[in-house]
Amino acid sequence: MTKNVKERRVISVIVMNESSVLSRITSLFAARGYNIESLTVAPIPNSDMSHITIATTGSSKLMEQITKQLHKLIPVYKVIEHEEMVEKEMVLAKFPIAENLADISVLSSAYNGGVVNVGMEMIIVMVADEPKRVKHFIEAAQRYNPSEIVRGGVVAIER
Amino acid sequence: MQMSGAQMVCESIIAEGVKTVFGYPGGAIMHVYDEIYKQNGFEHILNRHEQAAVHAADGYARATGEVGVAMVTSGPGFTNAVTGLATAYMDSIPMVVISGQVPLSLIGTDGFQEIDAVGISRPCTKHNFLVRTLEELPTILKEAFYIARSGRPGPVLVDIPKDITVEIGEFTYPKTVHIPSYKPTYKGNKRQIEKAVDAIKKAKKPLLYIGGGVVLSNAYELVREFAKKTQIPAVETLMARGVMGAKNPLLLGMLGMHGNYASNMAMSETDLVISLGARFDDRVTGKLSEFAKYADIIHVDIDAANIGKLVDVDYPIVGDITEVLKQILPQLDGVDPDRYEAWRNILKRYDDLHPQSYIDSDEVIKPQWAIERIGELVGDDAIITSDVGQHQMWAAQHYPFDRPRQWINSGGLGTMGFGFPAAIGAKRAFPDKIVINITGDGSILMNMQELVTAAEYEIPVINIILNNHFLGMVRQWQTFFYDKRYSETDLSFQPNFKALAEACGGIGYDVTTKAEFDAALKDAIKQNKVCFMNVQTNRFEDVLPMVPSGGALFNMMLPQTTKGEA
Ligand SMILES: Cc1ncc(C[n+]2csc(CCOP(=O)(O)OP(=O)(O)O)c2C)c(N)n1
Ligand SMILES: [Mg+2]
């Protein structure tokens, strides 16, 4: 039964740094009809590899296929389907200067962040939290008329 | 040694032991062709279309088990090659295709004959490379050959910008490859194998389900030994014809959409499927929920992604069939062949009830008769290629294939136009074998320019056109499922096939009777020249049995010849 339940999942893909590796991964997802909710990439320090974190949804059977298909790509070194993980997502949000700076500052620190820039016309805050809480933050932030919100996509690490 | 990129390409091909390269030149690959002119380590065959060049390299690879090599220019040369790549990809054929690309400085500018070759070929290659520096060229070529032939084989594209082929640099061909992210699994997991053997011992109605992986892994002798030792009956997929050998009493036949009755019933009633290098393709399984409904499944495959993709597997074993069978065979000593006797008898009765059959005729040549006749006349001596359609299915059903690599066809992609160039490749690899392309009046026209190639290089491929004046397979579906509305499948307007062959330097035969058939085939073998045998068959013959698309395997439309319901 549980095999066919659609759930949100996060996969880490460790890849060799080569110019087209990201397009190999995204075109695999496109060609096989898998969906990508978010995707982040960054080089792994002191290595010739990068860490790609992909958030997606699907049944465990589908996840098994995705994992195996990813693994078949030649530059893919390792695929980790996370069970026990710490997940974080970073968000930057911009508010008009006319909004209540103190309120916004408190709000962002409640979500593991703070004010990162105050200019003539706007305030920028950063938060970094679990994806679910990030969603709450974005809802709560609406009250202060954000002019722009940029989400960073999730990164995850096995516990 | 100091040399140009173009020379490095040639030296690498020679270092890989490649004897024949199939290709077509053009601007971006001209430096390489200039070096081909100067060397004598391998021969180059100029096919008359890039698609055909790639199919020829593919046919060469399928016949020999070695990596086939094709070479094309950028832009249209490459796009013409795509069908060839996709055909090889779907059937896991080891191949390296080298394409020219516009100079590095022009990449991304929509330059003349620029096309994103690695982008286009990504979904239809095992891997591909765009070479960016001369220094990496030797390593990339080495890796390309290694990736093509190792693990689950497949085609690899190497796209080389023109300026890299003129640049001069130091060349040493690497002896080894080092790709930390690519380590195919060859040996099977011991624990899983023990469990699988246990399941075989406990089964009452086990069935060997043999796929193309057995051919790719060169494991047929081990598979035959497995069957002999255990007396477990076997079914073959389209890609595995020849593995068990037509005369093998344990072979039930081919299963699937056009499988025979006993094979499809065996799959429907078995209690243990032993899948060796097969991938549960929809043309094989029919309706998935009814497929092997009463069975546990052992699945041996080198590609872990094949396992559990379509059906749930009870005993997954990732590994090379040869290696895994070497591990399994000694453990089969405890299997009692008598245990499955009742099962074998059931299947025997099924086969007696509805054997593979057709109604022959004296007035007109039946396509099935033609296939059987070819088998009688040349049998083991021939390599048979085919195109796609009814003739392909009849060949798979009726030809007495006796060894793997004797049967070469496009199973996964189903590419019309594959047969003739593939036959050219196979014949080049085995000049002493008779090579026959069993084709249709539709398919043959899709690469008919290869008459010129075959005539020029004296590659005497025999093309037997089973001419039904129809795109027969599509016509059959229209008869069954579209109320006989024959939309765009009537090929009544025909070329003069005999004259066509002759115009290109080959021989043509018009055949309408059985006597003419024998005479033409014998003459074609004797003449040793590329030929078209244009064989008029009855127009409305259907391929049977047939499992309508999406239906359960046991619901077959059967020929009228047999004795009624089971
Ligand atoms: C390149 C390509 N185009 C279209 C098809 C679809 N198709 C499959 S079989 C077939 C008819 C083939 O006709 P013919 O070669 O005369 O063989 P027959 O079925 O009559 O034996 C067609 C059009 C295909 N498989 N490949
Ligand atoms: Mg036809």
CATH number assigned to the domain covering B2-170: 3.40.50.970
Residue B355 Cα, ligand 2 centroid: separation in angstroms?
25
Residue B442 Cα, ligand 1 centroid: separation in angstroms?
6
Percent of chain A clearing pLDDT 90 (strictly above)? 87
The contacts found for B506-513 with CB under 8 angstroms, 24 or more apart, are B506/B451, B506/B454, B506/B455, B506/B530, B506/B531, B506/B532, B507/B531, B507/B532, B508/B532, B508/B534, B509/B533, B509/B534, B510/B534, B510/B536, B511/B365, B511/B535, B511/B536, B512/B365, B512/B536, B513/B365
Class of domain A86-158 (CATH, top level)? alpha beta
Question: pLDDT in tens for each of the 566 residues of chain B?
Answer: 999 999 999 999 999 999 999 999 999 999 999 999 999 999 999 999 999 999 999 999 999 999 999 999 999 999 999 999 999 999 999 999 999 999 999 999 999 999 999 999 999 999 999 999 999 999 999 999 999 999 999 999 999 999 999 999 999 999 999 999 999 999 999 999 999 999 999 999 999 999 999 999 999 999 999 999 999 999 999 999 999 999 999 999 999 999 999 999 999 999 999 999 999 999 999 999 999 999 999 999 999 999 999 999 999 999 999 999 999 999 999 899 999 999 999 999 999 999 999 999 999 999 999 999 999 999 888 999 999 999 999 999 999 999 999 999 999 999 999 999 999 999 999 999 999 999 999 999 999 999 999 999 999 999 999 999 999 999 999 999 999 999 999 999 999 999 999 999 999 999 999 999 999 999 999 999 999 999 999 999 999 999 999 999 999 999 986 444 43
Mutation test of the interface with chain A: which of B182, B302, B309, choosing the one with the most A Cβ atoms within 10 A? B182
Mutate to test the pocket of ligand 1, among B418, B437, B443, B536 (most ligand atoms within 8 A of CB): B443
With a Cβ cut-off of 6 Å, ligand 1 is lined by B 387-391, 414-417, 440-443, 466, 468, 470-474
Residue B233 Cα, ligand 1 centroid: separation in angstroms?
33
Sketch the domain layout of chain A as residue ranges: 2-83, 86-158
* Interface contact B181-A16, CB threshold 8 A: yes
pLDDT range class, residue A1, cuts 50, 70, 90:
very low
Q: Give the mean pLDDT of A61-86.
A: 93
Supply angle C-alpha B358, B359, B361, rounded to 5. 135
* Interface contact B305-A75, CB threshold 8 A: no
Mutation test of the interface with chain A: which of B124, B181, B301, B318, choosing the one with the most A Cβ atoms within 10 A? B181
| Chain position carrying tokens 């016509």 | B475
Sketch the domain layout of chain B as residue ranges: 2-170, 190-353, 367-536
Q: Does B305 touch chain A (CB under 8 A)?
A: yes
Question: With respect to CATH, is domain A2-83 assigned 3.30.70.260?
Answer: yes
Residue B478 Cα, ligand 1 centroid: separation in angstroms?
13
CATH number assigned to the domain covering B190-353: 3.40.50.1220
Ion ligand 2 residues within 5 Å by Cβ: B 440-442, 468, 470, 472
Torsion, Cα of B198, B201, B205, B208 (10° steps): 70
* Interface contact B132-A71, CB threshold 8 A: no
Q: How many CB pairs below 8 A link A and B?
A: 37
Reported ipTM: the value is 0.89
* Interface contact A74-B182, CB threshold 8 A: yes
Name residue A54's beta-bridge partners: A11, A39
Which residue from A16, A31, A69 is facing B305, i.e. has the nearest CB? A69
* Interface contact A20-B123, CB threshold 8 A: no
CATH number assigned to the domain covering B367-536: 3.40.50.970
Close Cβ partners of B146 (under 8 Å, ≥ 6 residues apart): B177, B179
CA B187 – CA B497 distance, rounded (Å): 51
Q: Does B116 touch chain A (CB under 8 A)?
A: no
pTM score:
0.96
Q: Give the mean pLDDT of A114-133.
A: 95
Task: Please state the atom number of ligand 1 nearest to the C-alpha of residue B394.
Answer: 21
The contacts found for A137-146 with CB under 8 angstroms, 24 or more apart, are A137/A91, A137/A107, A137/A108, A137/A111, A138/A91, A138/A93, A140/A107, A141/A93, A141/A95, A141/A104, A141/A107, A144/A95, A144/A99, A144/A100, A144/A103, A144/A104, A144/A107, A145/A95, A145/A96, A145/A99, A146/A93, A146/A94, A146/A95
Task: Please state the atom number of ligand 1 nearest to the C-alpha of residue B468.
Answer: 20
Identify whether B473 is a catalytic site residue.
yes
Task: Please state the atom number of ligand 1 nearest to the C-alpha of residue B476.
Answer: 19
Angle, helices B390-398 vs B367-378, to 10°: value is 50
Q: Does B184 touch chain A (CB under 8 A)?
A: no
Q: Does B289 touch chain A (CB under 8 A)?
A: no
pLDDT recorded at residue A2: 53
DSSP classification of residue B470: B
Torsion, Cα of B125, B126, B128, B134 (10° steps): -140
Closest residue by Cα to residue B357 from B208, B539, B556, B550: B556
Task: Please state the atom number of ligand 1 nearest to the C-alpha of residue B391.
Answer: 21
A2-83 matches A86-158 in fold: yes
